[in-house]
Amino acid sequence: MSGLSRTGRRRHYLLCAPTHFDVRYSINPWMDPGLPTAAEVALSQWQRLHGVLTDLGHDVDLIDPLPGLPDMVFAANGAIVADGRALVASFRHAERQGESPAYLDWFRSRGYTEVRQSSALNEGEGDFLTTGDVILAGSGFRSDAEARDEVQEFFGKKVLGLTLVDPRFYHLDTAIAVLDEHEVMYLPQAFAPESLDLLTERYPDAIAATEDEACLFALNAVSDGKHVILPTAATRLAAQLRERGFEPIGADTTELLKAGGGAKCCTLELHGVQPGDAD
Q: Is 266 a catalytic residue?
A: no
Q: What's the CA gap between 101 and 93, in Å, rounded?
A: 15
Q: Which of 82, 259 has the CB closer to ligand ARG?
A: 259
Query: 50, 171, 227, 266: which one is catalytic?
Result: 171
Beta strands in 105-192 (DSSP E): 114-117, 128-131, 134-139, 158-163, 176-180, 183-186
Q: Which of 77, 274 has the CB closer to ligand ARG?
A: 77
Compute the CA torsion angle 48, 52, 57, 62 (nearest 10 deg): -40
Q: How far is the CB of 126 from ligand ARG (least distance, A)?
A: 3
What residues between 9 and 28 interact with ligand ARG by CB under 6 A? 27-28
Other CB atoms within 10 A of residue 236 CB: 14
* Cβ atoms of residues 68 and 20 within 8 Å: yes
Residue 159 in the binding site for ligand ARG (CB under 6 A): no
> Which listed range, 50-58, 81-89, 155-163, 171-179, lies at the site for ligand ARG (CB under 6 A)?
171-179
Q: Binding mask 61-100 vs ligand ARG (x if CB under 6 A, - otherwise)?
A: ----------x--x-xx------------------x----
Residue 260 in the binding site for ligand ARG (CB under 6 A): yes
Sheet holding 247-250, edge to edge: 222-223, 227-230, 247-250
Q: Determine the residue type at 33.
A: P
> Which listed range, 12-20, 199-207, 244-252, 257-265, lies at the site for ligand ARG (CB under 6 A)?
257-265
Q: How far is the CB of 74 from ligand ARG (least distance, A)?
A: 4
Q: Determine the residue type at 65.
A: P
- Cα 180 to Cα 1, 133, 167, 206, 273: the distances in Å are 15, 12, 26, 11, 18
Q: What's the CA gap between 35 and 61, in Å, rounded?
A: 31
Residue 130 in the binding site for ligand ARG (CB under 6 A): no
Q: Is 171 a catalytic residue?
A: yes
**Residues belonging to the active site:** 171, 265
Residues in touch with ligand ARG (CB under 6 A): 27-28, 31, 71, 74, 76-77, 96, 126, 171, 173-174, 259-261, 265
